[in-house]
Amino acid sequence: MSRLYLVRHGPTHAKTMVGWSDLPADLSDRAALRRLAAYLPAQAPVVSSDLDRAVTTADAIAGARTRLPHDPGLREMHFGAWELRRFDEVEAEDPDHIRRFWECPGDVAPPGGESWNRLSQRVDRAVDGLRARHRGGDLVIVAHFGAILTQVARAEGLSGAEAFAHRIDNLSVTVIDTRADWRAEIINHNP
Protein backbone atom coordinates (compact mmCIF):
# COMPACT_ATOMS: atom_id res chain seq x y z
CA MET A 1 0.00 0.00 0.00
CA SER A 2 0.97 3.61 -0.32
CA ARG A 3 -2.08 5.78 -0.30
CA LEU A 4 -2.73 9.23 1.04
CA TYR A 5 -6.13 9.62 2.67
CA LEU A 6 -6.57 13.39 2.54
CA VAL A 7 -9.29 14.53 4.93
CA ARG A 8 -10.61 18.08 4.97
CA HIS A 9 -11.09 19.43 8.48
CA GLY A 10 -14.50 20.06 10.04
CA PRO A 11 -16.39 23.22 9.05
CA THR A 12 -15.55 26.64 10.48
CA HIS A 13 -18.76 28.27 9.16
CA ALA A 14 -16.71 31.33 8.20
CA LYS A 15 -17.96 33.17 5.11
CA THR A 16 -14.54 34.65 4.42
CA MET A 17 -11.20 33.58 2.99
CA VAL A 18 -9.67 31.54 5.81
CA GLY A 19 -6.05 30.59 5.40
CA TRP A 20 -3.65 30.78 8.33
CA SER A 21 -6.15 32.17 10.84
CA ASP A 22 -6.62 29.65 13.62
CA LEU A 23 -10.40 29.20 13.61
CA PRO A 24 -11.92 26.21 15.41
CA ALA A 25 -13.78 23.43 13.61
CA ASP A 26 -17.38 22.57 14.37
CA LEU A 27 -17.14 18.89 15.30
CA SER A 28 -20.69 18.52 16.58
CA ASP A 29 -21.68 16.00 13.85
CA ARG A 30 -20.48 12.94 15.79
CA ALA A 31 -22.13 10.52 13.34
CA ALA A 32 -20.14 11.97 10.42
CA LEU A 33 -16.92 11.73 12.44
CA ARG A 34 -17.64 8.07 13.31
CA ARG A 35 -18.34 7.23 9.64
CA LEU A 36 -15.17 9.01 8.57
CA ALA A 37 -13.03 7.25 11.19
CA ALA A 38 -14.50 3.86 10.23
CA TYR A 39 -13.76 4.48 6.53
CA LEU A 40 -10.07 5.23 7.05
CA PRO A 41 -7.45 2.43 7.18
CA ALA A 42 -7.05 1.22 10.76
CA GLN A 43 -3.23 0.97 10.67
CA ALA A 44 -2.49 4.28 8.94
CA PRO A 45 -0.89 6.98 11.10
CA VAL A 46 -2.69 10.34 11.28
CA VAL A 47 -1.01 13.71 10.75
CA SER A 48 -2.53 17.17 10.47
CA SER A 49 -1.58 20.72 9.76
CA ASP A 50 -0.83 22.70 12.90
CA LEU A 51 -3.97 24.85 12.62
CA ASP A 52 -6.60 24.13 15.26
CA ARG A 53 -9.39 23.14 12.86
CA ALA A 54 -7.18 20.38 11.40
CA VAL A 55 -5.65 19.33 14.74
CA THR A 56 -9.00 18.83 16.47
CA THR A 57 -10.47 17.02 13.47
CA ALA A 58 -7.47 14.68 13.36
CA ASP A 59 -7.75 14.05 17.10
CA ALA A 60 -11.47 13.29 16.70
CA ILE A 61 -10.92 10.61 14.03
CA ALA A 62 -7.58 9.14 15.13
CA GLY A 63 -8.94 6.49 17.48
CA ALA A 64 -6.22 3.86 18.04
CA ARG A 65 -4.17 5.07 15.05
CA THR A 66 -0.72 6.53 15.71
CA ARG A 67 -0.96 10.31 15.91
CA LEU A 68 2.03 12.02 14.29
CA PRO A 69 3.24 15.55 15.17
CA HIS A 70 1.43 18.43 13.46
CA ASP A 71 3.06 19.67 10.26
CA PRO A 72 2.86 23.41 9.41
CA GLY A 73 3.75 22.54 5.81
CA LEU A 74 0.19 21.19 5.45
CA ARG A 75 -1.45 24.54 6.23
CA GLU A 76 -4.03 26.19 4.01
CA MET A 77 -2.99 28.87 1.54
CA HIS A 78 -1.82 32.11 3.16
CA PHE A 79 -4.25 34.80 2.05
CA GLY A 80 -2.17 37.73 3.35
CA ALA A 81 -4.15 41.01 3.28
CA TRP A 82 -7.24 39.11 2.09
CA GLU A 83 -7.33 36.88 5.18
CA LEU A 84 -10.76 36.75 6.85
CA ARG A 85 -12.22 39.07 4.21
CA ARG A 86 -15.18 38.26 2.00
CA PHE A 87 -14.55 37.72 -1.71
CA ASP A 88 -16.94 40.53 -2.67
CA GLU A 89 -15.09 43.01 -0.40
CA VAL A 90 -11.76 42.25 -2.02
CA GLU A 91 -13.33 42.21 -5.48
CA ALA A 92 -14.75 45.70 -4.91
CA GLU A 93 -11.26 47.01 -4.01
CA ASP A 94 -9.16 45.18 -6.60
CA PRO A 95 -11.29 43.19 -9.06
CA ASP A 96 -8.49 42.48 -11.57
CA HIS A 97 -6.09 41.12 -8.96
CA ILE A 98 -8.52 38.75 -7.28
CA ARG A 99 -9.91 37.58 -10.63
CA ARG A 100 -6.38 36.72 -11.84
CA PHE A 101 -5.70 34.97 -8.52
CA TRP A 102 -8.68 32.60 -8.90
CA GLU A 103 -8.91 32.26 -12.68
CA CYS A 104 -5.18 31.96 -13.47
CA PRO A 105 -3.62 30.54 -10.31
CA GLY A 106 0.10 30.22 -10.52
CA ASP A 107 2.37 33.05 -9.44
CA VAL A 108 -0.40 35.55 -8.60
CA ALA A 109 -0.59 36.01 -4.82
CA PRO A 110 -2.70 38.11 -2.48
CA PRO A 111 -0.80 41.12 -1.06
CA GLY A 112 1.52 39.65 1.57
CA GLY A 113 0.20 36.17 0.87
CA GLU A 114 0.99 33.02 -1.03
CA SER A 115 0.47 32.03 -4.67
CA TRP A 116 -0.85 28.67 -5.87
CA ASN A 117 2.65 27.70 -6.98
CA ARG A 118 4.16 28.48 -3.55
CA LEU A 119 1.34 26.60 -1.80
CA SER A 120 1.90 23.59 -4.06
CA GLN A 121 5.66 23.60 -3.45
CA ARG A 122 5.19 23.83 0.32
CA VAL A 123 2.59 21.06 0.52
CA ASP A 124 4.52 18.82 -1.91
CA ARG A 125 7.62 19.13 0.34
CA ALA A 126 5.60 18.28 3.44
CA VAL A 127 3.89 15.29 1.80
CA ASP A 128 7.16 14.01 0.31
CA GLY A 129 8.83 14.25 3.73
CA LEU A 130 5.99 12.31 5.36
CA ARG A 131 6.11 9.65 2.65
CA ALA A 132 9.89 9.28 3.07
CA ARG A 133 9.53 8.79 6.82
CA HIS A 134 6.64 6.31 6.43
CA ARG A 135 7.81 4.53 3.30
CA GLY A 136 5.32 2.13 1.78
CA GLY A 137 2.54 2.76 4.29
CA ASP A 138 -0.77 4.53 4.04
CA LEU A 139 -1.15 7.94 5.69
CA VAL A 140 -4.18 9.89 6.87
CA ILE A 141 -3.52 13.60 6.38
CA VAL A 142 -6.01 16.08 7.84
CA ALA A 143 -5.58 19.35 6.02
CA HIS A 144 -7.37 22.09 4.11
CA PHE A 145 -9.14 22.77 0.82
CA GLY A 146 -6.11 24.28 -0.95
CA ALA A 147 -3.60 21.79 0.43
CA ILE A 148 -5.75 18.85 -0.70
CA LEU A 149 -6.24 20.39 -4.14
CA THR A 150 -2.47 20.66 -4.61
CA GLN A 151 -2.23 16.89 -4.30
CA VAL A 152 -5.20 16.33 -6.63
CA ALA A 153 -3.48 18.58 -9.18
CA ARG A 154 -0.21 16.69 -8.69
CA ALA A 155 -1.89 13.30 -9.13
CA GLU A 156 -3.99 14.26 -12.13
CA GLY A 157 -1.55 16.66 -13.86
CA LEU A 158 -3.99 19.56 -13.49
CA SER A 159 -3.37 23.26 -13.60
CA GLY A 160 -4.36 25.32 -10.57
CA ALA A 161 -7.50 26.53 -12.36
CA GLU A 162 -8.50 22.95 -13.18
CA ALA A 163 -7.84 21.87 -9.59
CA PHE A 164 -9.99 24.72 -8.22
CA ALA A 165 -12.93 23.32 -10.22
CA HIS A 166 -13.02 20.36 -7.79
CA ARG A 167 -15.22 20.40 -4.75
CA ILE A 168 -13.63 19.34 -1.45
CA ASP A 169 -16.26 19.22 1.31
CA ASN A 170 -15.54 19.44 5.02
CA LEU A 171 -15.00 15.95 6.49
CA SER A 172 -14.58 14.46 3.01
CA VAL A 173 -11.82 12.05 1.95
CA THR A 174 -9.69 12.23 -1.17
CA VAL A 175 -7.53 9.17 -1.81
CA ILE A 176 -4.28 9.47 -3.78
CA ASP A 177 -2.41 6.32 -4.81
CA THR A 178 1.30 7.23 -4.70
CA ARG A 179 2.68 3.95 -6.05
CA ALA A 180 4.55 4.39 -9.34
CA ASP A 181 2.47 7.09 -11.04
CA TRP A 182 0.43 9.20 -8.68
CA ARG A 183 -3.29 9.09 -9.36
CA ALA A 184 -6.44 10.19 -7.61
CA GLU A 185 -8.56 7.14 -6.81
CA ILE A 186 -11.33 9.05 -5.04
CA ILE A 187 -11.99 12.79 -4.84
CA ASN A 188 -14.33 14.32 -2.25
CA HIS A 189 -15.90 11.14 -0.86
CA ASN A 190 -18.29 11.70 2.03
CA PRO A 191 -18.45 8.44 4.00
Contact 108, 100 (CB under 8 A): yes
Distance, in Å, from the CA atom of 141 to the CA atom of 144, rounded to the nearest integer, reads: 10
CA atoms within 13 A on the CB side of 172: 16
pLDDT at 186: 95
Closest CA to 77 of 163, 13, 136: 163
pLDDT at 130: 95
Domains of the chain listed by start with CATH number = 3-79+117-189 (3.40.50.1240)
Within the chain, strands assigned E span 3-8, 46-48, 139-143, 173-177, 183-189
pTM of model > 0.85: yes
What is the residue type of 19?
G
* H or E segment and range at residue 174: strand 173-177
Q: What is the mean pLDDT of each successive set of 10 residues along the chain, which is 191 residues long?
A: 92 94 96 98 97 98 97 98 96 94 92 97 97 91 98 94 94 92 93 94
Q: 6: which strand partners?
A: 141, 174
